[in-house]
């Protein structure tokens, strides 16, 4: 399955998809200058979403969600790779995330567990980190390869 991934704004479909996946939406209403959402449509509906919030050399990956009916077709992996490439192009060196549901998915894609106390201040200050994700959520990171030149 090949679906075009493009920038999307926070809207009702985004809200619905994230809610269906039990992922937080409340902080998406808050302005974060360097937050971008990317999504893809299938049959005219938002089928997948990923978000990235950039804080200098660090980024928070969030809101990775694929609709139930579209799962298992490599959409999640494609969205993750897209967000990583976008972040790397912005000069991000390390991506961080919190997850209660998909630790193995991320571990298979190069993410490793990290100590929350080691989080950079800007990542620790995000709503996801400081309140929205439960303390039991796995905190993971991946170092990105910087483009040559
Ligand atoms: C995690 C998620 C994005 C994966 O989307 P997807 O499009 O089904 O994933 P892909 O098709 O690219 O990859 C499927 C592979 O990942 C594995 N996988 C999917 N979800 C997984 C999960 N939650 N935990 C572990 N492995 C998972 C599948 O078993 C499959 O493995 P295989 O390639 O060895 O067969 C999707 O299940 C989802 O939206 N989950 C709910 C929201 C969530 O947990 N988001 C992550 C936290 S931000």
Atom of ligand 1 nearest to the CA of 78: 12
- What is the per-residue pLDDT for 6? 97
Contact 63, 99 (CB under 8 A): no
CA 82, CA 5: separation in Å to the nearest integer? Answer: 8
For residues 146 and 30, give the distance between their C-alpha atoms in angstroms, rounded to a whole number: 30
On whether residue 73 sits in a domain, the answer given is: yes
Q: Is residue 109 part of a domain?
A: yes
Residue numbers of the domain that contains 52: 5-143
Q: Is residue 46 part of a domain?
A: yes
> Each residue's pLDDT tens digit in the chain (149 positions)?
567 999 999 999 999 999 999 998 988 887 777 899 999 999 999 999 999 999 999 999 999 999 999 999 999 999 999 999 999 999 999 999 999 999 999 999 999 999 999 999 999 999 888 877 677 899 999 999 765 55
149 falls within a domain = no
Q: Is the CB of 76 under 6 A from ligand 1?
A: yes
Query: Does residue 65 have its Cβ closer than 6 Å to ligand 1?
Result: yes
Is there a domain that residue 100 lies in? yes
Is the residue at 148 inside a domain?
no
CATH value at residue 85:
3.40.630.30
What is the structure's pLDDT at 30?
78
**pLDDT for residue 148:** 54
Q: Is the residue at 104 inside a domain?
A: yes
Nearest residue (by CA) to ligand 1, atom 16, is 105
Give me 92's structure tokens.
Answer: 């991000």
Altogether, the residues listed in the chain come to a count of 149
Number of separate domains in the chain: 1
**Is there an atom of ligand 1 within 6 Å of 71 CB?**
yes
Task: Decide if 8 contacts 36 (C-beta within 8 A).
Answer: no
- The reply to whether ligand 1 has any atom less than 6 angstroms from the CB of 118 is no
């Amino acid at each position: 399955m090949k679906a075009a991934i493009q920038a999307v704004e926070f809207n009702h479909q985004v809200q619905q998809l994230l809610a269906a996946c039990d992922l937080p939406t409340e902080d998406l209403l808050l302005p974060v200058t360097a937050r971008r959402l990317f999504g893809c449509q299938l049959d005219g509906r938002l089928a997948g979403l990923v978000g990235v919030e950039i804080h200098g050399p660090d980024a928070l990956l969030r809101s990775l969600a694929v609709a139930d009916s579209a799962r298992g077709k490599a959409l999640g992996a494609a969205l993750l790779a897209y967000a990583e490439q976008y972040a790397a192009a912005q000069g991000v060196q390390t991506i961080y995330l919190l997850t209660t549901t998909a630790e193995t998915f991320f571990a298979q894609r190069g993410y490793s567990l990290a100590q929350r106390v080691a989080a950079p201040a800007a990542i620790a200050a995000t709503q996801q980190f400081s309140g929205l994700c439960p303390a039991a959520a796995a905190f993971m990171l991946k170092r990105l390869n910087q483009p040559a030149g």
